[in-house]
Amino acid sequence: MKPDEVRNITVVGAGLMGHGIALEYAIAGFQVTINDVSSDALEDAWKRIRESAHLMQQFDLIDAASAESALSRIHAAVDLESASASSDIVAEAMVEDLEQKSRVYHRLDKICPAHTIFASNSSSFMPSLMAEATGRADRFLGAHYFNPPYLIPLVEVIRGKDTSDETVELMTAILLRLGKTPVQVRREVPGFIANRIQAAVWREILTLIQDGVATPEDIDRVMTTSLGRRWTVAGPFETTDLAGLDLKLAVLGELLPSIASSPEVPHVLREKVSRGELGVKSGIGFRGEWSPERIAETRARLAHALTTIETWTQHE
């Protein structure tokens, strides 16, 4: 199958990520069917899709006519067979449960045409683990989006040990058509690229809080007023080339012995979770209480910043 022959997309799992992935494919002109376990879940997905389309209009990412056209290309189906029987690409965005994913992939393998590509949005499971439930490991890969998927350009394309070059090339071409920035993960590792980097940063900042070095508020200020701003336009390797590798060698030699390296999650996070302080979903987190007004303001601020950055950032 060639990229220009791809017509029908099935999104399995219409929750936090799935609804946004479905909207992106629809905006790009594909026919999209979203599938989930219940009509209630699909109704909620439709609500989120419309809200996301409205938000994109607010920030001039699409116009009203394009939004309505995209919505007309999205359909919903609780039945997995009717949702995926004619699919060219299945974009899976289910909960992170390997057993559940494997059961669904086993069914999809029997339902979908032989040419169908399976692209998992899993942020933790390696493609080869899920591909074992199918007879098409050569047409199975990871396509890991980031939240919110319609505002974050990156998609990690994760090659399984048996994924064919043709599958990687086709998926990359489709993602480029969506306006995404695909980056290939050339070898399977847990967490891929972005989440491994985030995990390393999180281990250190949680340790800084735990050891009384800084507050969550000040760590957020450090990230948003220095590293975050710089890395938006030039990544760590580019900025280090500008500064000098000899300087980086000297700094790392001094700091690495004192950087957190424990394989255990810092207890400050475990304590928060045990108290039910989960962030927005429980109304309180590291940054204090979250009222509905504060949640809406923060999300709008983030969306505005991301769309503004997109207008002046050049992606390779």
DSSP secondary structure, 168-205, as one string = HHHHHHHHHHTT-EEEEE-S--TTTTHHHHHHHHHHHH
DSSP characters over 251-305: HHHHHGGGS---SSPPHHHHHHHHTT--BTTTTEETTEE--HHHHHHHHHHHHHH
Please indicate, yes or no, whether residues 147 and 113 belong to a single structural domain of this protein: yes
Structure tokens at 228: 């975050």
Residue 315: the pLDDT is 46
- Considering the domain architecture, whether residues 280 and 235 belong to the same structural domain is answered as no
Both structure tokens of 119? 């692209």
| Domain boundary, last residue among 185, 215, 249 | 185
Phi, psi (5° rounding) for residue 14? Answer: -105, 30
* Claim to verify: residue 76 and residue 197 sit in the same structural domain: no
Q: Write down the catalytic residue from 8, 19, 84, 144.
A: 144
Q: 69, 86, 123, 164: which one is catalytic? A: 123
Q: Is residue 229 part of a domain?
A: yes
**One domain for residues 145 and 236:** no
What backbone phi and psi angles, to 5 degrees, belong to 145?
-85, 170
Does residue 87 share a domain with residue 158? yes
Tell me, yes or no, whether 78 lies in a domain: yes
204 shares a domain with 163: no
Q: Are residues 98 and 216 in the same domain?
A: no
* Residues, the chain: 316
Looking at the structure, do residues 115 and 254 belong to the same domain, yes or no? no
The answer to whether residue 156 is catalytic is yes
Shared domain for 29 and 45, answered yes or no, is yes
Partners of 11 in beta bridges: 34, 91
CATH of the domain at 235: 1.10.1040.10
Total number of domains in the chain:
3
Does 267 qualify as catalytic in the annotation? Answer: no
Residue range of the domain that includes 291? 275-316
- Same domain (yes/no): 139, 64: yes
Positions of the chain with pLDDT under 70: 312-316
Task: Give the pLDDT confidence score for residue 192 in this predicted structure.
Answer: 94
Q: Are residues 180 and 244 in the same domain?
A: no
- Summarised one tens digit per residue, pLDDT across range 169-187 is 999 999 999 999 999 999 9
- Kindly state the tokens that stand for 243: 């500064």
102 included as an active-site residue: no
User: Is 269 inside a domain boundary?
Assistant: no
Q: Is residue 268 part of a domain?
A: no
Is there a domain that residue 175 lies in?
yes
Whether 133 and 257 map to the same domain: the answer is no
**Whole-number pLDDT of residue 316:** 46
Structure tokens at 189: 């590792």
pLDDT in tens, 21-74: 999 999 999 999 999 999 999 999 999 999 999 988 888 889 999 999 999 999
User: Quick check: is 52 catalytic?
Assistant: no
Q: Domain ends where: 136, 151, 185? A: 185
Determine which one of 195, 204, 277, 310 is catalytic.
195
What pLDDT score was predicted for residue 1? 86
